[in-house]
Amino acid sequence: MKRNKLVILFMLLLTIVIFSEENKKELDLKKSNNIIKKIKRYYGTDDVSTSRTFFFPYYASETGLTFGNFYYNTNLFNKGGFITNVIMYSPSTDIGVDWMELKDIPVFGKYKIGGDLFWASFDEIRLYDRGNDSSKNAFTLENMAGYDNGHGKYTNLNLNLKKELNDYDYYKYLFNYSELGMDSKILQRRIKLKTDKIGFEIGRDKTFNRDRAMTGEKIAFIFEKSLNLISNDSSNDRDYYKLKFDARKYIPVGEKKTLAIRFLTMHMDYLKEPDKNMRDFDFATLGDLGLFRGYYFMRYKDYNSAVWQMEYRFPINKKNNIRGSFFTEFGRVSGKYDAQMFYKDLKLDGGFGLHYYFNDLVMVRADLAICNEQTQLRISTSQAF
């Protein structure tokens, strides 16, 4: 009940800001103590400045009432590319998050470097059994390798080196490191699980950002291979590879309006059979800030997945710095890559999103997503896809 009240309060505050933006000409500009005017000045768009930092409060389902500091620089080191960094803490849930993202930093020739670092300290984490048929409360020690609720930290690092072959085609070298450390309530001991992998991506990106409404299409093929190099985890006996296919289409459906469609599928296989120590983040997973937003983090996982996503994105105000979206997602995970995973027992969620643009490159997105298990309010600093 408390969470639902906070969600309603959050949506009311967003509505106030939206309508105040539309009716700003009616505001008395002489009243310097007008709270809405001050909020708009503090968080307002700035197409000239390349760097900004500011404090903000928000509410999300998994963190509760949270306070954070947001920083961005869209011309890092005066070389192009940009960085965003969000540091957040929730006193009610004792959850802390630091999320840094780099994009398209020139290094040499036609090569650019990018990546992101996500670090979170959590008071409790919910983990589920493997499989598309796992129930909400499913828990199997054998499949979860001892995972259960507990206090701990999660770190995820992604790095990529990109080379643009021409105006559209590119390839990337990829690296990922993930680590989960937690104090197990069931096993009564400290658990530390690590994994790393390398990858290669080749794709064609013919998307264009026109008045903050994407057009065009993007296709990418990704190959990933487990390493256990930097992680050096003695209990890691997994030797697997992953194949991913990601296709996106952005269709103009009116002035500054877009219908965004995505198909994402993944298959993984093993050079050596995995045992019960298989890590959650090694699987194909559904449930995060941009994929199955209505479900908990890593809610579904297995060796294969297929997902369709659709979003209708549209402007809300004349300035077009506040945009909305209606979205739906459906798909599933599967132990086998077969025809049934494309039509049988598909999971479904959907909802409404608000997007606030500080400039053409930097935005904040709030999604209210609904599924058969719960309602989630999620906050992110980029589009879902």
Between these two residues, 226 and 243, which has the higher pLDDT value? 243
**Most confident of the following: 34-38, 154-158, 177-181:** 154-158
Position 184 in a domain: yes
Q: How many CB atoms lie within 10 A of CB 361?
A: 16
pLDDT-derived band at 134 (thresholds 50, 70, 90) equals low
Are 3 and 69 in a shared domain? no
Are 144 and 15 in a shared domain? no
Mean pLDDT of 186-191: 67
CA-to-CA dists, residue 125 to 82, 94, 156, 349, angstroms: 32, 12, 16, 21
Mean pLDDT of 314-331: 93
Pairing of strands 190-205, 208-210: unpaired
Are 210 and 352 in a shared domain? yes
Between these two residues, 362 and 219, which has the higher pLDDT value? 219
CA-to-CA dists, residue 15 to 60, 61, 296, angstroms: 17, 19, 26
pLDDT digits over 261-311, tens only?
A: 999 999 988 766 655 555 666 788 888 888 899 888 788 888 899 999 999
Are 308 and 295 in a shared domain? yes
Between these two residues, 178 and 29, which has the higher pLDDT value? 178
pLDDT digits over 20-43, tens only?
A: 444 444 444 444 457 777 777 778
Mean pLDDT of 227-248: 78
Are 121 and 12 in a shared domain? no
| Residue 175: pLDDT over 70 | yes
**pTM (2 d.p.):** 0.81
By residue range, what is the domain housing residue 10? 1-43
Are 9 and 93 in a shared domain? no
What proportion of the chain, given as a percentage, has pLDDT over 90? 38
Name the domain count of the chain: 2
Are 100 and 234 in a shared domain? yes
Q: What is the pLDDT of residue 272?
A: 63
Question: Alpha helix locations (H) across 29-123?
Answer: 35-43
Are 17 and 136 in a shared domain? no
Position 385 in a domain: no
Position 9 in a domain: yes
Distance CA 65, CA 92 (A): 7
Distance CA 198, CA 228 (A): 10
